[in-house]
Amino acid sequence: MTPDRLETQTDKSSAVRGRRGGVKFVLLHHGGCSGGGFHYRIDADGRVNTELDESERGQHPRSIGVVVDGDFDDGAPNDAQLAVLRRLLLKLKLRYPAAELGAHRQVRGGVETTCPGKRFPMQALAAWSRTGLLDERDEVLRRDFESQYSKI
Ligand SMILES: [Zn+2]
């Protein structure tokens, strides 16, 4: 179950750069987001650009922010963007095993927003993050494990 509201708030006292504690959420945004502070941007051609180092605080504390270019109140992300997004989420899952996937609009205490957009397939991605993503992660870990032991 994805919680309705996520337990991270925009902390106005933390003007300090740097992350306090581990990464708790990977938060998705769209190009129509009114805020900034994204770690990764996926452009319309499905290329990933790094905008902030993961060690830096982005729009929300204890979160990695991923923005997908486009206004998804009006349209949906294209297949290239979604494929690249899933690959990026797999990498982040391997790096931050406990981090949950969430939508910007789930963050408590912020401005009301539809981000990452009414037509962004958030439910499908959230469902995948609890099933297919874990299978893909296990497959990567299994290959790593086997490649280590084949050296013995
Ligand atoms: Zn947003």
Q: Quick one: residue 130, left, alpha or beta (phi over 0 = left, psi -120 to 50 = alpha)?
A: alpha
Does any domain span residue 42? yes
C-alpha 74 to ligand 1 mean position (Å) = 15
Does any domain span residue 16? no
Does any domain span residue 9? no
C-alpha 113 to ligand 1 mean position (Å) = 7
C-alpha 114 to ligand 1 mean position (Å) = 8
In the chain, how many domains are there?
Answer: 1
Spatial distance between the Cα atoms of 135 and 143, rounded to a whole number of angstroms: 12
Does any domain span residue 10? no
- Residue 29 is part of a domain; what is its CATH number? 3.40.80.10
- pLDDT tens, position by position, 78-120: 999 999 999 999 999 999 999 999 999 999 887 899 999 999 9
- The total of other beta-carbon atoms located within 10 Å of residue 110's CB is 17
Spatial distance between the Cα atoms of 113 and 109, rounded to a whole number of angstroms: 11
Give how far the C-alpha of residue 51 lies from the chain's centroid of Cα atoms, to the nearest Å: 14
Spatial distance between the Cα atoms of 68 and 137, rounded to a whole number of angstroms: 22
Does any domain span residue 68? yes
Does any domain span residue 7? no
C-alpha 147 to ligand 1 mean position (Å) = 39
Task: Please give the model's pTM, rounded to 2 decimal places.
Answer: 0.84
C-alpha 111 to ligand 1 mean position (Å) = 10
C-alpha 139 to ligand 1 mean position (Å) = 31
- pLDDT tens, position by position, 6-19: 665 544 444 344 55
- pLDDT tens, position by position, 18-56: 555 689 999 999 999 999 999 999 999 999 999 999 999
Q: Which domain holds residue 32?
A: 25-149
Does any domain span residue 142? yes
Spatial distance between the Cα atoms of 126 and 100, rounded to a whole number of angstroms: 9
Residue of 40, 32, 61, 36 lying closest to 119 (CA atoms): 32
Give the model's pLDDT for residue 1: 43
C-alpha 92 to ligand 1 mean position (Å) = 18
Does any domain span residue 5? no
- pLDDT tens, position by position, 132-151: 999 999 999 999 988 888 77
Burial 88-103 (b: 16+ CB within 10 A, else e): bbbebbeebeebbbbb
C-alpha 53 to ligand 1 mean position (Å) = 18
Cis? peptide before 61, omega within 30° of 0: no
